[in-house]
A and B are shown apart, each in its own frame.
Chain A
Amino acid sequence: MAQGVMVIAEQRDGDIRKISYELVSEGRRLADALGQGLTAVLLGAGTKDKAAELGQYGADKVIAADDERLATYTADAYVPVISEIVKANDPAVLLLGASSLGKDLSARLSARLGVGMAQDCVSFAVEDGKLIAVRPIYAGKAYAKVSFSDDSMPQMATARPNVMAINEPDAGKSADVEDAGVNLDDSALKTKVAEVIKDESGKVDLTEADKIVSGGRGMKGPEGFQVLEDLAAAIGGSVGASRSAVDAGWRPHTDQVGQTGKVVSPNLYIACGISGAIQHLAGMSTSKVIVAINKDPDAPIFQKADYGVVDDLFKVVPPLTEELKKVQG
Chain B
Amino acid sequence: MKIIACIKQVPDTETQIKVAPDGTSIAQDDIKWIMNPYDEYGVEEALQLKEKFGGEVTVVGLGPKRVTESLRTALAMGADKAVLVTDDALEGSDALAVSKALGAAIKDLEYDLIFTGQRGVDDDQGLVGASLAETLGIPHLAVITKLEVAEDGASVKASRPVEGQTVVLETPLPAIVTAQKGLNEPRYASLPGIMKAKKKPLEEKSLADLGLDASEFGTAGRKLKVIELTPPPERKPGQIVDGESPEEKAANVAKLLHEEAKVI
Binding site for B on A (CB under 8 A): 72, 74-76, 99-101, 103-104, 107-108, 110-112, 114-120, 132, 135-149, 151-152, 190-199, 203-205, 207-208, 211, 235, 253-254, 259-260, 267-268, 279, 285, 288-291, 302, 304-312, 315-317, 319-320, 322-324, 326-328
Whether A193 and B130, one on each chain, are in contact in the complex, defined by CB atoms closer than 8 angstroms, is no
Interface pair A291/B257, CB less than 8 Å apart: yes
Q: How far is B238's CA from A322's CA once the two chains are assembled, in angstroms?
A: 24
CB pair B264–A260 under 8 Å, yes or no, is: no
New contact pairs (17) apart from A197-B168, A307-B256, A324-B257, CB-CB < 8 Å: A75-B140, A107-B126, A110-B127, A132-B227, A146-B225, A146-B227, A190-B171, A191-B139, A193-B167, A197-B165, A199-B164, A235-B264, A260-B37, A290-B238, A309-B241, A319-B250, A323-B250
- Which of B224, B225, B238, B254 is the one whose CB lies under 8 Å from A117? B224
CB nearest neighbor in B for A253:
B182
The 4 closest A-B pairs by CB, nearest first: A116-B223, A116-B224, A323-B254, A107-B130
Does A304 lie within 8 Å of B235, measured CB to CB?
Answer: yes
Query: CA separation between A260 and B179, bound complex, in Å?
Result: 12
Q: Which residue of A lies closest to B38 (CB)?
A: A260
CB pair A145 B228 closer than 8 Å: yes
Q: Is the pair B168, A193 in contact by a Cβ cutoff of 8 Å?
A: yes
Inter-chain contact B164/A203, CB cutoff 8 Å: yes
Establish whether residues A190 and B143, one from each chain, have CB atoms under 8 Å apart when the complex forms.
no
Selecting from B92-100, B190-198, B201-209, the interface stretch reads B92-100
A259's partner among B13, B17, B131, B247 (CB-CB below 8 A) is B13
Q: Interface residues of B: mostly helix, strand, loop or mixed?
A: mixed
Does residue B123 face the partner (Cβ distance < 8 Å to A)? yes
Q: Which residues of B contact A307 (CB under 8 A)?
A: 238-239, 241, 253, 256-257, 261
Which residues of A are found within 8 Å of B139, using beta-carbon distances?
A: 75-76, 190-191
In the complex, what residues of A have CB within 8 A of residue B171's CB? 190-192
Contacts of B121 in A (CB 8 A): 138-139, 259
Is there an interface contact between A115 and B238, defined as CB atoms closer than 8 Å?
A: no
Contacts A138-B17, A197-B168 given; indicate if A108 touches B133 (C-beta within 8 A).
yes
Q: How many whole Å from A111's CB to the nearest CB in chain B? A: 4
Contact among B126, B230, B238 for A306, CB-based, below 8 A? B238
Q: A138-B17, A192-B171, A198-B165 are in contact. Are A104 and B130 (CB under 8 A)?
A: yes
Instruction: Decide: A138 and B250 in contact? CB cutoff 8 A.
Output: no
A195 to B159, CA, bound (A): 9
Tally of contacts, chain A with chain B, CB under 8 A? 245
CA distance A30 to B228 in the complex (A): 21
Closest CB in chain B relative to A162 CB, distance in Å: 12
Determine if A198 and B164 form an interchain contact, defined as CB atoms under 8 angstroms apart: yes
Q: Does B109 have its Cβ within 8 Å of any Cβ on chain A?
A: no
Contacts of A259 in B (CB 8 A): 13, 121
Question: Given that A110-B127, A324-B257 are contacting pairs, would A142 and B230 also be in contact in the complex, using a CB cutoff of 8 Å?
Answer: yes
Within the complex, the shortest CB–CB distance from B122 to chain A, in Å, comes to: 6
Q: Once the chains bind, are A137 and B135 in contact (CB under 8 Å)?
A: no
- A108 cross-chain contacts in B, Cβ below 8 A: 130-131, 133-134, 140
A111's partner among B126, B134, B182 (CB-CB below 8 A) is: B134
- Chain A contacts for B135, CB-based, 8 A: 111
Task: State whether the Cβ of B142 lies closer than 8 Å to any Cβ in chain A.
Answer: yes
Q: Could you jot down 7 A-B contacts, CB within 8 Å?
A: A76-B139, A99-B163, A108-B130, A119-B125, A142-B232, A149-B225, A253-B181
Are A309 and B233 CB-contacts (below 8 A) given A259-B121, A268-B264? no
Knowing A111-B96, A132-B227, A137-B123, say if A316 contacts B165 (CB, 8 Å): no
Q: B253 contacts A320, CB within 8 Å?
A: yes
Bound CA span A144–B131, Å: 21
B106: shortest Cβ distance to chain A, in Å?
15
Q: How far is the CB of A52 from chain B (nearest CB, A)?
A: 25
Say yes or no for B28: interface residue by CB 8 A criterion.
no
Interface pair B227/A316, CB less than 8 Å apart: no
**Structural contact, B240 and A145, CB atoms closer than 8 A:** no
- Chain B hits for A268, CB < 8 A: 257, 261, 263-264
Residues of chain B contacted by A72 (CB below 8 angstroms): 167
- Docked complex Cα distance between A208 and B162 (Å): 11
Contact partner of A142 (CB less than 8 A), chosen from B129, B166, B229, B261, is B229
A143 touches B229 (CB 8 A): yes
B261 and A119 contacting across the interface, CB-CB below 8 Å: no
Task: Check: B187 CB closer than 8 A to any chain A CB.
Answer: no
CA distance A99 to B161 in the complex (A): 11
Cα–Cα distance between A99 and B181 once the two chains are bound (Å)? 18
Contacts of B95 in A (CB 8 A): 117
In-complex Cβ contact of B126 among A103, A147, A197 (8 A): A103
Asked if B157 lies at the interface with its beta carbon under 8 angstroms from chain A, I say: yes
Pick the residue among A101, A253, A304, A327 that contacts B258 (CB under 8 A): A327
- List, in ascending order, chain A residues with CB within 8 A of B142's CB: 103-104, 107
